[in-house]
Each structure stands twice: as C-alpha cells, then as structure tokens.
C-alpha cells in the first residue's frame, strides 16, 4: 500500500508539473466581468467585490524583432462555435495547434519571447490573492448628454426669472479669434470609452470554479471583457 500511495503521489506531482510547464506566465490576461457582489472577511467586515469569470487565454501568435520590429505575444480568447469563426482565423489557430474557436485577439508586450509558448494557455500564477492589479475595460454607454452630466457644469439660477438653467453658456470669443476652439466642453456622446482603474486588490482566485474576486468596482458593463494586468504603480 505504501508503494502504491507513493506512486500515486508521484504521478499527481508529475501531472501538476506538466500542467504548469504547459502554461505561460504573462503580466496580463482577459476575463469577463460577471457583476458585483459582497463578501465578509475573517473579521466580519463587509467587502464589495467584482466577480471576474475566468476564460482560457491562449498564445496564438508570436511577434519578434526580426519579423515585426518588436516583441509581443498575441493572446486569443472568447471561444465560439466553429461556424462563427472565419477562415483566416481558423488558419491562424490551426498553425498554433489550438482547437478552440477563438474570436478576440490582443497583444501583450513581452521582453524575450519564446517560440515554445505558441499554442499554450496563459497561467494565472502571477495573480494570487492580495496582488495589486490594474483593470481596463470599456465604460458603460450613456448616450447623448448635456454638459451638466457630462462635465459637471454648475448650471444657472433656477428662479428670479432666469432662463439660463442647464445650457452650455458662452462658447466663443469676439472677433479674435472669431471661432470656437477645438476640444471645447459641449454636449455630446458620453461613455463607451476605454478606462483603467488602477491599484485594485485581488481578494480570491478560484481556478477550479473559474472566477476571481477583485475588491471594488471595475470599468465596463456586465458580461463585457476586461483586461487584468499587474499594477504599474505598486
């Protein structure tokens, strides 16, 4: 029994080492913002967290200085049915020996790329609990908005016969320059911008159940993709 138990432990250790070796550690990966909830820590304190659904990220292409002028890994994610993947993408995935039908691709700059990483999955070993991270996503769209909501203008008086309430106000000068300057704060489309929230903390990572908990809120709406990176200011 002792020898059998020992052999089983050695086999499990070997399999774990092989799975670790088959993954590539990068400073960023992509996940899905599932929504927000709350948890309680060991001291009973209420902690608001964002739930990130962990999806497989694969190295689909390698950029080298000789061929592309810089070094980076192209990361593929968001798997779909085979009929929803176009032929050029299928060829790229077949070249990397990836069976999943990935449809989204992004590049992550890396110094010292390796050809052996092609087709491997991105590891989450660099993001244990208490890790400080930056989260990038596309903010919620708010449509066409005025200057009070869009830029926090004060507005005008509400009473005493005033007819200036929520409008923009004066936007130009006199005969010189005789035009409206560029980038003037005016009504327009609000939201749907790439935003980054810095210095957030990872609360929990559960790779078996496929989720990560991040303290606080992150940009983006539910079911949107976000980029999670190691914090650059910590």
In a domain, 5, yes or no: no
Q: Is the pLDDT of residue 49 over 90?
A: yes
Backbone φ and ψ of 219, nearest 5°: -65, 155
In a domain, 10, yes or no: no
Q: Is the pLDDT of residue 219 over 60?
A: yes
Position 14 confidence tier, pLDDT thresholds 50, 70, 90: very low
The parent domain of residue 101 ranges over 58-121
Q: Is the pLDDT of residue 139 over 80?
A: yes
Position 1 confidence tier, pLDDT thresholds 50, 70, 90: very low
Tens of pLDDT, residue by residue over 69-78, are 999 999 999 9
Instruction: Give me the percent of the chain exceeding a pLDDT of 90.
Output: 79
In a domain, 65, yes or no: yes
Closest CA to 52 of 127, 139, 105: 127
Residue 117 shares a structural domain with residue 66: yes
The pLDDT value recorded for residue 178 is 87
Residues 6 or more apart whose CB falls under 8 angstroms from that of 185 comprise 147, 150, 151, 153, 168
- Using CA atoms of 158, 163, 167, 168 in order, give the dihedral in degrees to the nearest 10: -110
The answer to whether residues 135 and 226 touch, using CB atoms and an 8 Å cutoff, is: yes
Mean pLDDT of 101-117: 92
Q: Output the average pLDDT for the chain.
A: 89
In a domain, 82, yes or no: yes
Choose between 15 and 62: higher pLDDT. 62
Q: Is the pLDDT of residue 117 over 60?
A: yes
Residue 131 shares a structural domain with residue 201: yes
- 131: part of which helix (H) or strand (E)? none
Residue 232 shares a structural domain with residue 197: yes
The answer to whether residues 2 and 176 touch, using CB atoms and an 8 Å cutoff, is: no
In a domain, 132, yes or no: yes
Residue 66 shares a structural domain with residue 104: yes
The pLDDT value recorded for residue 7 is 53
Residue 134 shares a structural domain with residue 197: yes
Residue 156 shares a structural domain with residue 186: yes
The pLDDT value recorded for residue 199 is 97
In a domain, 11, yes or no: no
In sequence order, the β-bridge partners of residue 52 are 33, 212
Q: What is the CATH number of the domain that holds 230?
A: 2.40.30.10
Overall number of domains in the chain: 3
Position 3 confidence tier, pLDDT thresholds 50, 70, 90: low
Closest CA to 93 of 75, 108, 68: 75
- Give the three-state DSSP class for 195: strand
* Bridging pattern class, strands 194-206 and 132-138: antiparallel
Q: What's this model's pTM, rounded to 2 decimal places?
A: 0.82
In a domain, 176, yes or no: yes
In a domain, 1, yes or no: no
Q: What is the CATH number of the domain that holds 111?
A: 3.30.160.810
Tens of pLDDT, residue by residue over 170-193, are 888 788 888 999 999 999 999 999
């Amino acid at each position: 029994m002792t020898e059998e138990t020992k052999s089983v432990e050695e086999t499990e250790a070997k399999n774990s080492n092989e799975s670790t070796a088959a993954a590539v550690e990068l400073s960023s990966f992509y996940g899905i913002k599932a929504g927000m909830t709350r948890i309680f820590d060991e001291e009973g304190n209420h902690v608001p967290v964002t739930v990130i659904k962990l999806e497989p990220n694969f190295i689909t292409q390698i950029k080298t200085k000789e061929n592309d002028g810089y070094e980076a890994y192209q990361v593929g994610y968001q798997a779909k049915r085979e009929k929803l993947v176009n032929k050029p993408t299928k060829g790229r995935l077949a070249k990397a020996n990836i069976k999943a039908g990935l449809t989204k691709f992004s590049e992550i700059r890396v110094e010292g790329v390796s050809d052996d990483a092609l087709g491997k999955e991105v590891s989450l070993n660099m993001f244990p609990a208490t890790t400080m991270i930056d989260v990038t996503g596309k903010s919620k769209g708010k449509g066409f908005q005025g200057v009070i909501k869009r830029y926090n203008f004060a507005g005008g008086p509400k009473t005493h016969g005033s007819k200036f309430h929520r409008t923009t106000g004066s936007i130009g000068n006199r005969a010189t320059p005789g035009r409206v300057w560029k980038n003037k704060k005016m009504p327009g489309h609000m939201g749907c911008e790439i935003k980054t929230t810095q210095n957030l903390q990872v609360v929990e990572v559960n790779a078996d159940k496929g989720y990560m908990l991040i303290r606080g809120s992150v940009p983006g709406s539910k079911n949107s993709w976000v980029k999670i990176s190691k914090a650059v200011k910590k």
